[in-house]
Amino acid sequence: MIKGLQMNEVTMYYAEGSNRITALDHVSISVELGEFVAVVGPSGSGKSTFLSIAGALLKASEGNVRLNGNNISTQTEKELSNIRLQEIGFIMQSSNLVPYLNVLDQLLIVKRMSGKIKREDREFATKLLNELGLGSKLKSFPDKLSGGEKQRTAIARALMNNPNIILADEPTASLDTKRAHEVVSLIAQEVKSRQKAAIMVTHDERMLEYCDKVYRMSDGGLSLAES
Protein backbone atom coordinates (compact mmCIF):
# COMPACT_ATOMS: atom_id res chain seq x y z
CA MET A 1 0.00 0.00 0.00
CA ILE A 2 1.27 3.45 -0.94
CA LYS A 3 1.06 5.93 1.95
CA GLY A 4 0.52 9.63 1.40
CA LEU A 5 -1.71 11.24 -1.18
CA GLN A 6 -2.28 10.40 -4.83
CA MET A 7 -4.65 12.17 -7.20
CA ASN A 8 -5.17 10.91 -10.69
CA GLU A 9 -6.96 13.01 -13.32
CA VAL A 10 -9.25 14.69 -10.80
CA THR A 11 -11.86 17.02 -12.25
CA MET A 12 -14.36 19.02 -10.22
CA TYR A 13 -17.45 20.74 -11.58
CA TYR A 14 -19.71 23.13 -9.70
CA ALA A 15 -23.19 23.84 -10.98
CA GLU A 16 -23.99 27.52 -11.23
CA GLY A 17 -27.48 28.07 -12.53
CA SER A 18 -27.54 26.34 -15.86
CA ASN A 19 -23.78 26.74 -16.23
CA ARG A 20 -21.05 24.38 -15.17
CA ILE A 21 -17.84 25.73 -13.65
CA THR A 22 -14.75 23.56 -14.02
CA ALA A 23 -12.92 24.28 -10.75
CA LEU A 24 -10.35 21.51 -11.23
CA ASP A 25 -9.32 20.20 -14.60
CA HIS A 26 -7.62 16.78 -14.73
CA VAL A 27 -5.37 17.35 -11.73
CA SER A 28 -2.77 14.70 -10.97
CA ILE A 29 -0.28 14.80 -8.09
CA SER A 30 1.47 12.44 -5.74
CA VAL A 31 2.81 13.48 -2.34
CA GLU A 32 4.91 10.98 -0.44
CA LEU A 33 5.64 10.69 3.26
CA GLY A 34 8.34 13.18 4.21
CA GLU A 35 7.49 15.47 1.30
CA PHE A 36 6.38 19.10 1.75
CA VAL A 37 4.64 20.50 -1.31
CA ALA A 38 3.40 24.04 -1.95
CA VAL A 39 0.54 25.05 -4.22
CA VAL A 40 0.45 28.67 -5.37
CA GLY A 41 -1.96 30.41 -7.70
CA PRO A 42 -4.32 33.35 -8.04
CA SER A 43 -7.64 33.66 -6.26
CA GLY A 44 -10.33 31.59 -7.96
CA SER A 45 -7.85 29.20 -9.59
CA GLY A 46 -9.09 26.16 -7.61
CA LYS A 47 -6.71 25.89 -4.64
CA SER A 48 -9.35 25.54 -1.92
CA THR A 49 -11.34 23.07 -4.00
CA PHE A 50 -8.16 21.05 -4.47
CA LEU A 51 -7.42 21.03 -0.73
CA SER A 52 -11.02 20.11 0.14
CA ILE A 53 -10.87 17.11 -2.18
CA ALA A 54 -7.44 16.12 -0.85
CA GLY A 55 -8.90 16.26 2.66
CA ALA A 56 -11.97 14.15 1.81
CA LEU A 57 -14.28 17.10 2.55
CA LEU A 58 -15.53 17.15 -1.05
CA LYS A 59 -15.93 14.36 -3.57
CA ALA A 60 -14.42 14.84 -7.02
CA SER A 61 -16.70 14.76 -10.05
CA GLU A 62 -14.22 12.59 -11.94
CA GLY A 63 -10.92 10.88 -11.26
CA ASN A 64 -9.34 9.06 -8.36
CA VAL A 65 -8.10 10.18 -4.96
CA ARG A 66 -6.11 7.85 -2.77
CA LEU A 67 -5.33 8.68 0.85
CA ASN A 68 -2.86 6.22 2.37
CA GLY A 69 -3.79 3.82 -0.41
CA ASN A 70 -7.57 4.03 0.15
CA ASN A 71 -9.63 5.09 -2.83
CA ILE A 72 -11.90 7.63 -1.18
CA SER A 73 -14.55 7.63 -3.89
CA THR A 74 -15.65 4.17 -2.75
CA GLN A 75 -15.85 5.00 0.98
CA THR A 76 -19.02 5.70 2.92
CA GLU A 77 -19.59 9.03 4.72
CA LYS A 78 -18.82 7.32 8.02
CA GLU A 79 -15.54 5.92 6.71
CA LEU A 80 -14.66 9.34 5.30
CA SER A 81 -15.25 11.10 8.59
CA ASN A 82 -13.03 8.52 10.27
CA ILE A 83 -10.32 9.11 7.67
CA ARG A 84 -10.56 12.87 8.25
CA LEU A 85 -10.19 12.41 11.99
CA GLN A 86 -7.43 9.77 11.99
CA GLU A 87 -5.39 10.25 8.83
CA ILE A 88 -5.53 13.96 8.02
CA GLY A 89 -4.38 17.01 9.95
CA PHE A 90 -5.83 20.34 8.82
CA ILE A 91 -4.17 23.70 9.47
CA MET A 92 -6.40 26.57 8.44
CA GLN A 93 -5.90 30.26 7.72
CA SER A 94 -6.96 31.22 11.22
CA SER A 95 -6.12 28.87 14.04
CA ASN A 96 -9.75 28.22 15.11
CA LEU A 97 -8.84 27.50 18.71
CA VAL A 98 -11.60 26.93 21.27
CA PRO A 99 -11.64 30.12 23.42
CA TYR A 100 -12.30 28.39 26.77
CA LEU A 101 -9.63 25.66 26.48
CA ASN A 102 -5.98 26.06 27.39
CA VAL A 103 -3.24 25.10 24.93
CA LEU A 104 -2.82 21.54 26.23
CA ASP A 105 -6.58 20.92 26.18
CA GLN A 106 -6.83 22.17 22.57
CA LEU A 107 -4.84 19.02 21.70
CA LEU A 108 -6.50 16.65 24.13
CA ILE A 109 -9.99 17.44 22.86
CA VAL A 110 -8.95 15.80 19.58
CA LYS A 111 -8.41 12.57 21.53
CA ARG A 112 -11.62 12.96 23.48
CA MET A 113 -13.51 12.88 20.15
CA SER A 114 -12.26 9.34 19.55
CA GLY A 115 -12.38 7.97 23.09
CA LYS A 116 -10.89 8.45 26.50
CA ILE A 117 -7.73 10.47 27.11
CA LYS A 118 -4.84 8.29 28.22
CA ARG A 119 -1.65 9.19 29.99
CA GLU A 120 0.37 8.67 26.79
CA ASP A 121 -1.92 11.16 25.00
CA ARG A 122 -1.01 13.80 27.58
CA GLU A 123 2.67 12.95 27.16
CA PHE A 124 2.46 13.10 23.36
CA ALA A 125 0.61 16.43 23.45
CA THR A 126 3.22 17.89 25.80
CA LYS A 127 6.02 16.60 23.58
CA LEU A 128 4.49 18.16 20.46
CA LEU A 129 3.95 21.49 22.21
CA ASN A 130 7.55 21.47 23.42
CA GLU A 131 8.78 20.81 19.87
CA LEU A 132 6.74 23.76 18.67
CA GLY A 133 8.18 26.08 21.30
CA LEU A 134 5.05 26.20 23.47
CA GLY A 135 6.38 24.34 26.50
CA SER A 136 5.78 27.35 28.73
CA LYS A 137 2.26 27.98 27.39
CA LEU A 138 0.51 24.69 28.17
CA LYS A 139 -1.93 26.33 30.57
CA SER A 140 -2.43 29.55 28.58
CA PHE A 141 -5.76 30.39 26.98
CA PRO A 142 -5.96 31.60 23.34
CA ASP A 143 -6.55 35.26 24.28
CA LYS A 144 -3.12 35.28 25.95
CA LEU A 145 -1.31 33.95 22.85
CA SER A 146 0.29 35.83 19.96
CA GLY A 147 -0.79 35.07 16.39
CA GLY A 148 2.27 32.89 15.86
CA GLU A 149 1.67 30.98 19.10
CA LYS A 150 -1.94 30.33 18.11
CA GLN A 151 -0.90 29.02 14.75
CA ARG A 152 1.80 26.82 16.34
CA THR A 153 -0.88 25.42 18.66
CA ALA A 154 -2.96 24.65 15.56
CA ILE A 155 0.01 22.81 14.03
CA ALA A 156 0.43 20.71 17.18
CA ARG A 157 -3.31 19.97 17.17
CA ALA A 158 -3.12 18.86 13.53
CA LEU A 159 -0.39 16.38 14.53
CA MET A 160 -2.13 15.07 17.65
CA ASN A 161 -3.74 12.01 16.05
CA ASN A 162 -0.47 11.28 14.27
CA PRO A 163 -2.02 11.54 10.78
CA ASN A 164 0.07 10.76 7.69
CA ILE A 165 -1.27 13.69 5.71
CA ILE A 166 -1.09 17.39 6.62
CA LEU A 167 -3.08 19.97 4.67
CA ALA A 168 -2.54 23.68 5.27
CA ASP A 169 -4.63 26.44 3.67
CA GLU A 170 -2.78 29.79 3.79
CA PRO A 171 -1.39 29.11 7.28
CA THR A 172 0.56 32.39 7.35
CA ALA A 173 -2.19 34.70 6.10
CA SER A 174 -2.61 36.46 9.45
CA LEU A 175 1.07 36.57 10.48
CA ASP A 176 3.90 39.07 10.10
CA THR A 177 7.00 37.98 8.17
CA LYS A 178 9.01 36.79 11.15
CA ARG A 179 6.14 34.69 12.60
CA ALA A 180 5.32 33.38 9.13
CA HIS A 181 8.88 32.07 8.71
CA GLU A 182 8.75 30.50 12.17
CA VAL A 183 5.46 28.76 11.50
CA VAL A 184 6.34 27.39 8.06
CA SER A 185 9.81 26.26 9.12
CA LEU A 186 8.19 24.39 12.02
CA ILE A 187 5.73 22.71 9.67
CA ALA A 188 8.67 21.70 7.46
CA GLN A 189 10.57 20.37 10.47
CA GLU A 190 7.60 18.24 11.61
CA VAL A 191 7.03 16.95 8.07
CA LYS A 192 10.63 15.77 7.92
CA SER A 193 11.05 14.42 11.45
CA ARG A 194 7.64 12.73 11.61
CA GLN A 195 7.49 11.73 7.93
CA LYS A 196 4.22 13.35 6.93
CA ALA A 197 2.93 14.03 3.41
CA ALA A 198 2.12 17.75 3.47
CA ILE A 199 0.50 20.22 1.11
CA MET A 200 0.45 23.95 1.81
CA VAL A 201 -1.61 26.39 -0.23
CA THR A 202 -0.02 29.82 -0.03
CA HIS A 203 0.07 33.25 -1.61
CA ASP A 204 3.37 33.95 0.02
CA GLU A 205 6.33 33.36 -2.32
CA ARG A 206 8.76 33.83 0.58
CA MET A 207 7.52 30.60 2.15
CA LEU A 208 8.42 28.45 -0.84
CA GLU A 209 12.02 27.99 0.28
CA TYR A 210 10.81 25.52 2.92
CA CYS A 211 9.05 23.29 0.38
CA ASP A 212 10.43 20.40 -1.67
CA LYS A 213 8.25 21.10 -4.68
CA VAL A 214 6.15 24.01 -5.87
CA TYR A 215 3.04 23.54 -8.00
CA ARG A 216 1.08 26.29 -9.69
CA MET A 217 -2.69 26.25 -9.99
CA SER A 218 -4.09 28.13 -12.94
CA ASP A 219 -7.72 27.92 -14.11
CA GLY A 220 -8.10 24.57 -12.38
CA GLY A 221 -4.96 23.07 -13.91
CA LEU A 222 -2.02 22.03 -11.72
CA SER A 223 1.54 22.03 -12.98
CA LEU A 224 4.97 21.73 -11.43
CA ALA A 225 6.66 25.14 -11.27
CA GLU A 226 10.33 25.58 -12.15
CA SER A 227 12.17 26.75 -9.07
Ligand X SMILES: Nc1ncnc2c1ncn2[C@@H]1O[C@H](COP(=O)(O)OP(=O)(O)O)[C@@H](O)[C@H]1O
Binding site for Mg ion (CB under 5 A): 47-48
Show the CA angle centred on residue 203, arms to residues 198 and 206, nearest 5°.
80
- Closest listed residue to residue 153, CA positions, set 182, 191, 192, 116: 182
Contacts with ligand X, residue ranges (CB under 6 A): 14, 16, 21, 23, 41, 43-49
Give which of ligand X, Mg ion, none residue 135 binds (C-beta under 5 to 8 Å, depending on kind): none
Nearer to ligand X, 43 or 74 (CB): 43
For Mg ion, the closer of residues 48 and 106 by Cβ is: 48
Q: Which does 85 bind (CB under 5 to 8 A by kind): ligand X, Mg ion, none?
A: none
Q: Is 223 helix (H, G, I), strand (E, B) or coil?
A: strand
Residue 202 interface partner, choices ligand X, Mg ion, none, CB cut-off 5-8 Å depending on type: none
List the single partner that 180 binds among Mg ion, ligand X, none, CB under 5 to 8 Å by kind. none
Q: Nearest residue by C-beta to Mg ion?
A: 48
**Which CB, 203 or 206, lies closer to Mg ion?**
203
Q: At what angle do helices 147-159 and 103-112 cross, to 10 degrees?
A: 30
Side chain identity at residue 164, one-letter code: N
The full DSSP string for 51-100 is: HHHHTTSS--SEEEEEETTEEGGGS-HHHHHHHHHHHEEEE-SS----TT
Report the nearest approach of ligand X to the CB of residue 190 (Å).
Answer: 24
Nearest residue (CB) to ligand X, 14 versus 146: 14
